[in-house]
């Protein structure tokens, strides 16, 4: 996937002008004929050049820098993971920059190019990949690693936790606690990790003769719970897509009818953040997880232009036994 990075000299050679002329065109500095400008800009387009907004380099991906794309400032999990990514990138000799996109659930070509304009030599995305991204990665040659999600786009890489196993661990724990009425609370059913965790949970329940209701909190949590209650369904075993959702469930489902409810979250953020209540949660060794993922990515960056097979990895998970199940 890696390829030679586009430099001002490359553009100058293609356009038949000097590197200084190319720099002047990009800075719009001094008098230049329209013909010269046109030749430089056409050469830049032909070579898939992206201006580096940091002005530290006039190359795509020349900086030893990894851009991380995420969409949730209020999600503690992202804070924890970006901290681990920063530490590991630093250890490997790379700077880490963040690209925040509020309420966007996909990394698009535009977001990818924004990351490249910051001098990124690779991109790590916590977001699902949009279908057109593969073409952009093929053209620009700067790899994208989707972290915590699967993708079928052949030009992209991914490392994710074993989400189906996590769902199975949650089901087995709740069954062992004597639960009979199961609920899976998710957010954004289109995400592969949401689907995989739910599949593991529901399949494991089915193997024991149980089934589960499923709700998406984006569809109005209170209204969906009220509808379940109207049917006489009071869940006593709840698996949540994330720890943040688990805290939301525990905050909103209170009272005598929910007194025996058991809750299992996902992400085990209590391992890093000392919350007053320690959730029972599916987790992963985050330091090792990020070390493994970045190790794979950096090997690809530094592969000197030799093609590698796409990275397709699932990282093992465990169940941390807390106070909620």
Q: Which residue has the higher pLDDT, 42 or 85?
A: 85
Pairing of strands 280-283, 262-266: parallel
Q: What is the 3-state secondary structure (H, E, C) of 16-78?
A: CCCHHHHHHHHHCCCCCCHHHHHHHHHHHHHCCCCCCCCCCCCCCCCCCEEEEEECCCCCHHH
Could you tell me how many residues make up the chain?
Answer: 325
Please report the pLDDT score of residue 57 as a whole number.
42
Q: Does domain 65-161+285-315 have CATH number 3.40.800.20?
A: no
Cβ neighbours around 40 below 10 Å, total: 25
* CATH match for 163-283 among 1.10.10.10, 3.40.50.2300, 3.40.50.300, 3.40.50.720: 3.40.50.2300
- The CATH 3.40.50.2300 domain(s) of the chain lie at 65-161+285-315, 163-283
Contact predicate 133/110, CB 8 Å = no
Percent of the chain with pLDDT over 90: 66
Which comes out higher in pLDDT, residue 196 or 48?
A: 196
CA 272, 162, 178, 236: dihedral to nearest 10 degrees?
70
Is 65 strand, coil or helix? strand
Residue 238 reports pLDDT greater than 80 = yes
pLDDT digit string (tens) for 280-315? 999 999 999 999 999 999 988 887 544 566 889 999
Please say whether the beta carbons of 55 and 110 come within 8 A: no
Secondary structure E strands in 164-306: 182-186, 212-216, 237-240, 262-266, 280-283
State yes or no: pLDDT of 5 exceeds 80: no
Please indicate, yes or no, whether the overall pTM of this predicted structure exceeds 0.75: yes
**Position 90 confidence tier, pLDDT thresholds 50, 70, 90:** very high
Q: What is the pLDDT of residues 101-126, one digit of tens each?
A: 887 789 999 999 989 888 888 999 99
Reported as a single tens digit per residue, the pLDDT across 141-181 is 889 999 999 999 999 999 999 999 999 999 999 999 999 99
Give me Rg for the CA atoms of the chain: 24
């Amino acid at each position: 996937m890696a390829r030679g990075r586009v430099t001002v000299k490359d553009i100058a050679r293609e356009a038949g002008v000097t590197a200084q002329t190319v720099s002047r065109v990009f800075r719009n500095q001094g008098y230049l004929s329209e013909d010269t400008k046109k030749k430089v800009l056409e050469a830049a387009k032909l070579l898939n050049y992206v201006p580096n907004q940091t002005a530290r380099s006039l190359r795509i991906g020349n900086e030893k820098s990894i851009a991380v794309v995420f969409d949730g400032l209020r999600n503690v999990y992202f804070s924890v993971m970006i901290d681990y990514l920063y530490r590991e990138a630093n250890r490997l000799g790379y700077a880490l920059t963040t690209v925040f996109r509020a309420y966007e659930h996909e990394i698009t070509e535009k977001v990818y190019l924004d990351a490249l304009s910051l001098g990124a030599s690779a991109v790590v995305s916590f977001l699902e990949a949009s279908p057109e991204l593969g073409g952009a990665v093929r053209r620009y040659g700067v790899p994208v690693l989707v972290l915590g999600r699967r993708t079928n786009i052949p030009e992209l890489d991914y490392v994710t936790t074993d989400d189906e196993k996590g769902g199975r661990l949650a089901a087995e724990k709740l069954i062992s606690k004597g639960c009979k009425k199961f609920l899976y609370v998710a957010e954004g059913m289109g995400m592969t990790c949401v689907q995989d965790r739910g599949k593991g949970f529901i399949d494991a329940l089915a193997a024991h003769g149980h089934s589960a209701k499923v709700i998406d909190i984006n569809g109005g949590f209170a209204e969906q719970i009220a509808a379940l209650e109207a049917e006489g369904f009071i869940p006593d075993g709840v698996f949540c897509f994330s720890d943040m959702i688990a805290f939301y469930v525990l905050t909103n489902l209170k009272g005598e009818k929910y007194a025996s409810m058991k809750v299992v979250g996902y992400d085990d953020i209590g391992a890093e953040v000392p919350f007053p209540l320690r959730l029972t949660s599916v987790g992963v060794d985050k330091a090792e997880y990020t070390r493994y993922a970045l190790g794979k990515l950096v090997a690809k960056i530094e592969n000197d232009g030799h093609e590698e097979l796409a990275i397709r990895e699932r990282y093992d998970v465990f169940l941390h036994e807390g106070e909620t199940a």
